[in-house]
Structure 1
Amino acid sequence: MRDFFKYTFASILGTIVGLGVLGVLSLGGLLIVVGTIATSSKDAGPNVENNSMLVFDLSMNITDSQPTSTTAEALSRTLSEDSEPNTMTLRQVVETIDAAREDDRILGIYLHSTSSSTSNGFATLREVRSALERFQDAGKTIIAYDQDWSEGEYYLASVSDEILLNPLGMIEMNGLSSETTFLTGGLQKYGVGVQVTRVGKYKSAVEPFVLTQSSPESRQQTEKLLSDIWGDFLTTVDRREKISAQQVQQVVNTRGMLMATEAEQQGFVDRLAYFDEVVAQLKELTGQKEEDRTFRQIGLSGYAAVSEDQRATKARSAPQIALVYAEGEIVSGEGGSTQVGGDRLAKQLRDLRRDEDVKAIVLRVNSPGGSATASEVIQREVQLIAESKPIVVSMGNVAASGGYWISSYGSKIFAQPNTITGSIGVFGMLLNIQSLGNKQGINWDVVKTGPYADIDTITRPRTAQEMAIIQQMVDGIYERFLNLIVESRNLPAQKVSEIAQGRVWSGQEAKQLGLVDELGGLNEAILAAAELAELGEDWKVEEYPQTRTFEQILIERLLGSRLKALVPTPEPDPLTAQLQELYEEVSMVKNLNDPFHAYTRLPFTFQIR
């Protein structure tokens, strides 16, 4: 029955997409068909056979919060029997591995990668690796195979009982880098003026718009941060018996990569093998016959559905811990689906504060910051919650600047050693297009009732007096930021002044400085919240904002827009990827919507590779 609906509806969709209209099929009839498919999909459910391997694609994008699905993506997942989504949440991944650890039907985990790159940060990977270690400690097997191993993938694979590599493969081992794109020359060429205000000698977010290379302070903090994160990498892979941290660093300093035979000789991998040989090994492990097509297996997302169904049996009346996600750029107002809207998140926190069924809150922060005003709006709600019930902060890959602002009043703050945090500083950036317009023969004239009536204009540079006013506001917001940390973290004002200055810290340094309470991941933060709320063993976790069901997504999209073609987007070529990255750098300016033009944000182009 599932196949009938699958292929019939796929045919109908093809016709609809091809004609570009919904009139071919009535909305009611379409929803009935889709509803039947969704129901049959749920009823069928994934099947877990005895002696199965859990298959984990390391190229999967692991996010904090549930990603917003397009209708096409939701339909594609529903119509597909065995396709794996390319995105799961960190909590889903960790809880799925933990569930498999206790499931006698799961023999082990097979790690592999279907892509040459991963966008997952090292703090995320550390938490996943901890789950893999718990799985292995239960006496279960982990086998990893790839054609090439990147450093991020190897960070996870190093936990494996056996690491395999294609005979013509290689291992990337060249260390970490952070490249900044400087737009100053381009802006000047096209006549776009930039004026900045800032507080904190390390607050380098404005540098790509006014300099042509990193300042000494920016380079210093980046070097230290990369050193801390790389140090964690070395310490982690050093646990593998056949290699040492010194050996890894030697490769980094002299080679940057190892071909397959070298990787085997030096102990980075255990054996060289072709894919069919790996499949044969896994067939034998799972008790399959040689003539069988493949080994007995279930994908990570498929098994996640099984473990989620099992957890759903928990009593509805159990006390609730609310897990709230603050992921993305912090902006004033409601914000978009990939942003942290100050008003939207504040309302969510306010509702949870007033909800008597919610006994504790975990605020998961994965944000580089943004609007100072929005950060203050959110922070106030965190402070009010802390006065009435526990609110524990869990920092992800990055919780810096405004991301730290909203975290500071947490009852307890957790971070991973390689979390990027701190960056306690403020800047303002004001663009103008006067020169650009003049070059095209465009001029502006203004009539005003006061000297500062058009201070927000982008058609001219600000005067010295206007810049002084804006700098005064930025100074005041920075002072507020410092006092906030002094009060919330109970630290001496002099110490806060020294560790602020816009400087970025790793999680391990932040703990030493008193900016973070404990080193640990999301799971540790949830357990701490349960302990602070004195909930014992009887409690459940509810995530916010709550995700929409497939049916909700479909109805919303059908009523509001055309269906998109069910065609996966291929990976861009290197030139296109670079142009997309440049576009993203420039488009970040559109998020600068703070009413006071004051921002608590990490450097615009801070990426680690």
Structure 2
Amino acid sequence: MARAKTWVIVLLVIFGLFLLFTFSFIWALKSSLEATPTVKRNSVLKINLQGHITEKYPENAISKEIESSEMQMFDIYQALRMAKVDDRIRGIYLRISSPGLGWAKAEEIHDLLEKFKQSGKFVIAFLESSNELSYFTALPADEIYLQPHSVAEFNGFATEVPFFKRTLNKLGINPQVENIGKYKSAGDILKRDSMSPAHREATRAILEDVYEAFVTAVVKRKNLQRQNFETLLDKGIYQSEEAFEAGLVDGLKYENEVQDIIKEKIYGAEIDKKVNFIPVQKYARINPKEVGLGRGEKIALVYAIGTIVSGKSEYSPMVGRVMGSQSVVNMLQKASKNRLVKAIIMRVDSPGGSAIASDEIWAEIEKIQKKKPVIVSMSDVAASGGYWISMGSDAIVAQPNTLTGSIGVVGSIFDLSGTYDKIELVWETVKIGSHADIFTDKRPMTPEEWRILKKMIKDTYDTFVQKVAEGRKMSRVEVDKIAQGRVWSGKRAFQLGLVDTLGGLDAAIEIAKQKAGIKKETEVELIAYPKKKSFFESLLSQFNVQVKKYLFHHQRHLALNSFLPDDIRQFIQNSFILRSLSTREILAMEPYIPIIK
């Protein structure tokens, strides 16, 4: 028996060493392929907007490999800044095919392309098919081509909101939900079977703002009469030929034909020449100093992405990226202690989460502000807890269609007694203390327990409102009027005083320079946090469990992404957070962010 155990241990060690060698070899090979690229003269930067676009890869090298199929906004930002001044880059080939991004990211890319064009270089866009989001992103292009016999979905904007009360009831689940705020719809989708008037009002306002931004941009760029274009939008979906006849695109071309047009722009009649298309992910790896950028003062760029929980950031198969308060606080502390860093920009893309974890990040920002300015740059979503972690900064920058606000809280305790009855599972409880089992899912709450839950939620809401009032220099009454759990567009949040400036990362950098006493004309270098761990650091810390866990979970996540509609998938993802925290924490979270179609 002892000899058998010894052999098992020896085999496990050999197998472990084999895996270590294999991973090391793969990583070494991959690293050699990812060396700083050589950029040839007459190159064209290729931006292929397809699939999900994240803000930035996670720090963990292993989980980065899992998410490497996604494009990151950080690459797009860095690449466009460098390409603008890089003489080796002649222009941009923008290829768009069903990109997974929100309207704020689309506005960011749109603005970056407009700034790139100031260099006098060309931007050519190719759309496999088109909808409003894809078309808006491509609008700055000198020429927009649509694939023949495809579809142009210019039919206005809509969002669909699921209500799960009846579904849960059929399963014997009674979601005991309490939320503060007239517009806090987080609980409504669990406890109602239709939209409240307030929920409908807030959702329609978001659609109206997106509609206005889209129509205004198209009419201006294409020199169209607004009334004519609005009539076109109201008629529905168009074939590519109809979109061309309406003057919305410059031609109907297949991708190889578009690439020939780009070749002609560079080489003229020399058709035997080959265009060097360099992907944005590859080009972003060159050192900014190579093109004369990044030589000045340093500004930290701290990423705060995902649903907010206590502890460390991670990747979850059911909820995607999770923002751990401990991880964000650690990044902020590192940036604060770095003497070369003159200011900190926190890039937020989060629907919120744990109120306690959100407050932990808020408190760290309050402390850091005594030494260095902290600016928040909002991406697609910075709602509820996402706004909580932002509100104490020196300045908040949002895109016009960032979804933010949602100053409200929700608490839920799921009563599963009906489910247990259906499967004839009987529980017995032994307790010392009247409320020892207050968070149980084995029975409905008592009136006294409801009173306790409501008080907890009310206290958290009051704290939220008070901190917004202090951070935004408003009265509690003023904040309460615009809080109530309502989600606002960045444009309306700016009008209400919840946001300081409309714009993207560039605007945040300019404010950071001003706050840090850096001259406007001075170039700055961005230091991104989290910094990527080496492969060996990740391997040693997580080798035994995490590799299997990540790969297995990723397969499940891919299945979830492949077979479910976006809105249902999003609800399921956030429901896992609601369920996991429902028995212990009050949430500052908007679990159903409208997906605009």
Letter aligned with residue 540 of structure 1 = E
Question: Does structure 1 residue 326 correspond to structure 2 residue 289?
Answer: no
Q: Please state how far the C-alpha of 1:330 moved relative to its aligned partner.
A: 1.1
* 1:55 alignment partner in structure 2: 46
Partner SS state of residue 50, structure 1? coil
Give matches, 1:144-183, under 5 Å.
144-183=125-164
Q: 1:552 to 1:267 in 2, by over 3 A?
A: farther
Tell me if the contact between 2:294 and 2:526 (Cα under 8 Å) persists in the aligned partners: no
Question: Does structure 1 residue 395 correspond to structure 2 residue 375?
Answer: no
* 2:3 alignment partner in structure 1: none
Q: Please state how far the C-alpha of 1:513 moved relative to its aligned partner.
A: 0.9
Q: Please state how far the C-alpha of 1:285 moved relative to its aligned partner.
A: 2.3
| Aligned counterpart in structure 2 of residue 236 of structure 1, from 185, 192, 217 | 217
| CA distance in 1 between partners of 2:63 and 2:468 (Å) | 45
Tell me if the contact between 2:412 and 2:583 (Cα under 8 Å) persists in the aligned partners: no
Letter aligned with residue 57 of structure 1 = N
| Aligned counterpart in structure 2 of residue 435 of structure 1, from 390, 413, 418 | 418
Tell me if the contact between 2:58 and 2:64 (Cα under 8 Å) persists in the aligned partners: no
Question: Does structure 1 residue 299 correspond to structure 2 residue 266?
Answer: no
| CA distance in 2 between partners of 1:94 and 1:497 (Å) | 36
Q: Please state how far the C-alpha of 1:404 moved relative to its aligned partner.
A: 1.0
Give matches, 1:129-140, under 5 Å.
129-140=110-121
Question: Does structure 1 residue 198 correspond to structure 2 residue 170?
Answer: no
- Deviating more after overlay: 549-558 vs 93-102: 549-558
| Aligned counterpart in structure 2 of residue 258 of structure 1, from 238, 243, 260 | 238
Tell me if the contact between 2:51 and 2:70 (Cα under 8 Å) persists in the aligned partners: yes
| CA distance in 2 between partners of 1:481 and 1:572 (Å) | 34
Tell me if the contact between 2:86 and 2:291 (Cα under 8 Å) persists in the aligned partners: no
Partner SS state of residue 430, structure 2? coil
* 1:598 alignment partner in structure 2: 586
| CA distance in 1 between partners of 2:203 and 2:57 (Å) | 30
Q: 1:68 to 1:247 in 2, by over 3 A?
A: farther
| CA distance in 2 between partners of 1:472 and 1:355 (Å) | 42
| CA distance in 2 between partners of 1:573 and 1:198 (Å) | 33
Give matches, 1:411-450, under 5 Å.
411-450=394-433
Deviations 1:360-391 (A, max 9, x none): 11111111111111111111111122222211
Give matches, 1:61-100, under 5 Å.
61-67=52-58, 71=62, 74=65, 86-100=69-83
* 1:492 alignment partner in structure 2: 475
Q: 1:31 to 1:450 in 2, by over 3 A?
A: closer
| CA distance in 2 between partners of 1:345 and 1:73 (Å) | 18
| CA distance in 2 between partners of 1:450 and 1:29 (Å) | 56
Gaps of 5+ in 2: 1-11, 316-320
Name the % identity. 34
Q: Please state how far the C-alpha of 1:124 moved relative to its aligned partner.
A: 0.8
Q: 1:72 to 1:448 in 2, by over 3 A?
A: closer
| Aligned counterpart in structure 1 of residue 525 of structure 2, from 540, 548, 553 | 540
Q: Please state how far the C-alpha of 1:546 moved relative to its aligned partner.
A: 1.4
* 2:353 alignment partner in structure 1: 370
- Deviating more after overlay: 59-68 vs 515-524: 59-68
- Deviating more after overlay: 389-398 vs 353-362: 353-362
| CA distance in 2 between partners of 1:342 and 1:527 (Å) | 27
Tell me if the contact between 1:419 and 1:506 (Cα under 8 Å) persists in the aligned partners: yes
Tell me if the contact between 1:150 and 1:173 (Cα under 8 Å) persists in the aligned partners: yes
Letter aligned with residue 367 of structure 1 = S
Letter aligned with residue 330 of structure 1 = I
Give matches, 1:543-554, under 5 Å.
543-550=528-535, 552-553=537-538
Letter aligned with residue 135 of structure 2 = Y
Deviations 1:474-502 (A, max 9, x none): 11111111111111111122211111111
| CA distance in 2 between partners of 1:500 and 1:72 (Å) | 37
| CA distance in 1 between partners of 2:82 and 2:73 (Å) | 14
Partner SS state of residue 284, structure 2? helix
* 1:15 alignment partner in structure 2: none
Q: Please state how far the C-alpha of 1:445 moved relative to its aligned partner.
A: 2.1
Letter aligned with residue 324 of structure 1 = V
Q: Please state how far the C-alpha of 1:314 moved relative to its aligned partner.
A: 5.3
TM-score normalised over the length of structure 1: 0.86
Tell me if the contact between 1:413 and 1:518 (Cα under 8 Å) persists in the aligned partners: yes
| CA distance in 1 between partners of 2:536 and 2:441 (Å) | 45
Tell me if the contact between 2:61 and 2:534 (Cα under 8 Å) persists in the aligned partners: no
| CA distance in 2 between partners of 1:507 and 1:98 (Å) | 24
| CA distance in 1 between partners of 2:406 and 2:595 (Å) | 15
Q: 1:141 to 1:370 in 2, by over 3 A?
A: same
Tell me if the contact between 1:203 and 1:603 (Cα under 8 Å) persists in the aligned partners: no
Partner SS state of residue 343, structure 2? strand
Letter aligned with residue 478 of structure 2 = K
Q: Please state how far the C-alpha of 1:62 moved relative to its aligned partner.
A: 2.6
| Aligned counterpart in structure 2 of residue 451 of structure 1, from 434, 452, 465 | 434
Tell me if the contact between 2:414 and 2:582 (Cα under 8 Å) persists in the aligned partners: no
| CA distance in 2 between partners of 1:571 and 1:164 (Å) | 33
Q: 1:457 to 1:109 in 2, by over 3 A?
A: same
Q: 1:423 to 1:242 in 2, by over 3 A?
A: same
Q: Please state how far the C-alpha of 1:64 moved relative to its aligned partner.
A: 1.8
Question: Does structure 1 residue 246 correspond to structure 2 residue 235?
Answer: no
* 2:202 alignment partner in structure 1: 221
Q: 1:244 to 1:139 in 2, by over 3 A?
A: farther
| CA distance in 2 between partners of 1:126 and 1:226 (Å) | 15
| Aligned counterpart in structure 1 of residue 461 of structure 2, from 464, 467, 478 | 478
Partner SS state of residue 281, structure 2? helix
Partner SS state of residue 239, structure 1? helix
Q: Please state how far the C-alpha of 1:249 moved relative to its aligned partner.
A: 2.0
Question: Does structure 1 residue 271 correspond to structure 2 residue 251?
Answer: yes
Letter aligned with residue 248 of structure 1 = F
Question: Does structure 1 residue 37 correspond to structure 2 residue 11?
Answer: no
Partner SS state of residue 312, structure 2? coil
Q: Please state how far the C-alpha of 1:167 moved relative to its aligned partner.
A: 2.3
Partner SS state of residue 168, structure 1? coil
Tell me if the contact between 2:288 and 2:294 (Cα under 8 Å) persists in the aligned partners: no
| CA distance in 1 between partners of 2:561 and 2:301 (Å) | 35
TM-score normalised over the length of structure 2: 0.88
Deviations 1:238-277 (A, max 9, x none): 23234344333222212x2221221111100111223333
- Deviating more after overlay: 572-581 vs 179-188: 572-581
Tell me if the contact between 2:293 and 2:523 (Cα under 8 Å) persists in the aligned partners: no
Deviations 1:160-197 (A, max 9, x none): 11111222122111222221121111111111111111
| Aligned counterpart in structure 1 of residue 486 of structure 2, from 482, 500, 503 | 503
Q: Please state how far the C-alpha of 1:574 moved relative to its aligned partner.
A: 5.9
Deviations 1:112-151 (A, max 9, x none): 13x4x22211111111111111122221111112231122
